[in-house]
Structure 1
Amino acid sequence: MTATTRSRRSTGPDPACVEAVDLARAAAAEAAPGEIGDHLGFDSEDERLVTHRFATTNPAYVGWHWAVTVVRASRAKEVTVSEVVLLPGETAVLAPPWVPWAERFQPSDLGPGDILPPPENDDRLVPGWTGETDAPYDPADGGAYADTVASVADELGLGRARVLSPVGRADTVDRWYSGDRGPEAPLAAAAPAQCATCGFLLPLAGSIARVFGVCANEQAPDDGRVVSYDHGCGAHSEIVATAASLGERPPPVLDHVEYDLVERGGPQDETDEVVVEVVTEPDPE
């Protein structure tokens, strides 16, 4: 039996690639003439693949560095440049992470004439009833049954191609209830009473009416908005108007009986002047 000898591969970086600092610097200088600083070291990416790092002197890129990747092909003696790129370091100033348009869009971004279709397969919507069904038609009543079904559907608010799904309804309730018109809002915490007992609250329809209504007080900050029953503000219909609640205060009482004598004078005055100052103290009564 003939023994086969296998050569061991070196586990360290390729010496030729490590020594190719001048080659890497020349490649970086070609990409950014006059902006290449000190050699910051190298990283061994793979077998015969090394990336040299150079500081950049461009004041607009503080904390960045040039990364030049060099490679030596198998059985080749020459080292060649594979890639030259400017990369940020730990202290580099970077732009905020990119956020998809659908996630960064705000309701206030929608202006007149803008179109915002719902996404495909939106789980907030489910098919509704539009009346375009095979309703039974009886020639004897001239289609009165179908007309009755359509009338009832219209009265119930049906007739839309899609309506809110249970998921969409739950998301809406959570968003409204935890927002500025829910019970946890600072305005509600300082309110003397809740919207459930306010005469300006207009009820809604459907299952959501058990939690929310619409404020109809033109002097309230939530006028025309959906509010929870346990929300509240200072414009409650049952609040009795008083001078204290309206921010009015009685005029101050001045005591004109007592006074102090204060002497004022200086080296430039020919005579001293006596000034009477009235002490404004509240009436003890």
Structure 2
Amino acid sequence: MHPIARLIARHAPKPLRPLAYRFLYRRLMAEFALDPALFAGRRVLIAGPARTIDSDLAGLDPGRFDLVVRMNNGLDTPIAAFADNPYRCEVLFHSLTRDARPVTPEHLRRAGVATLVHRVPKRSVFLRTIAFLDRLDPATRLRIVPVDHYDALSRSLGGYSPTTGLVCASVILQALPDTLAICGFTFFDTRYVAHYDDADRSDADTAQRVRSQGHHAPHREAGVLMTMVGQARARGVTVMLGQAVQEAAERIAERERAAEPMPRRP
């Protein structure tokens, strides 16, 4: 599939890479763009990476969902609630960067990944999408979230980079699934679930790391996500939030209100 494009993506000299990615993005973007119909009218479960994922899933039957969606290291992070296959993941949103563990054909097959969605923050990263075709399991489709969608999310966050989780949730909410359950997100108020990324030893470690990097804006993401959830519900989508997701969003909203300056008296 696209052998010439793959050669260009892998071997274009650095001075020619701007020309290469513009050419490939213009020619192939429409073919690789994620079709919202994948989620429309379906029952979808997003399993995020927060340590609260198990409690969020309590009371839910994953077997009743058509699609389980995960992100990044979720590909090889087992979840006990998925009894038939702890790695179950029909759709994987991934950054394809060195910050995450490598994606292997073996892990894609084990999880049952039918669609891998590359989060493309800028057009130049599309070269990475095309180059990854060489490592893709034949049973897995490779798609991208168009850069325009990413840019719109970034603007809604005041210029901060949206997380893969927000990109994922926003795409699915806009696709109008029948039902969407969002579990395992606390907007970095807690550390990751075991085996996802063990660099942080405590919730405080996670919060401090994200603040120091200054790349994401968790407090803004919480507000943006809750706005999108409200809009989807108004359009008839059944959206179920894990208890920890709801509680984290409420905590952040309360902190934001407390930080607002008091109105001046006339």
TM normalised by structure 2 equals 0.17
- Bigger-Rg structure (1/2): 1
Higher strand residue share: 1
Greater RCO, CA 8 A, separation 6+: 2
Q: Which has the higher helix share?
A: 2
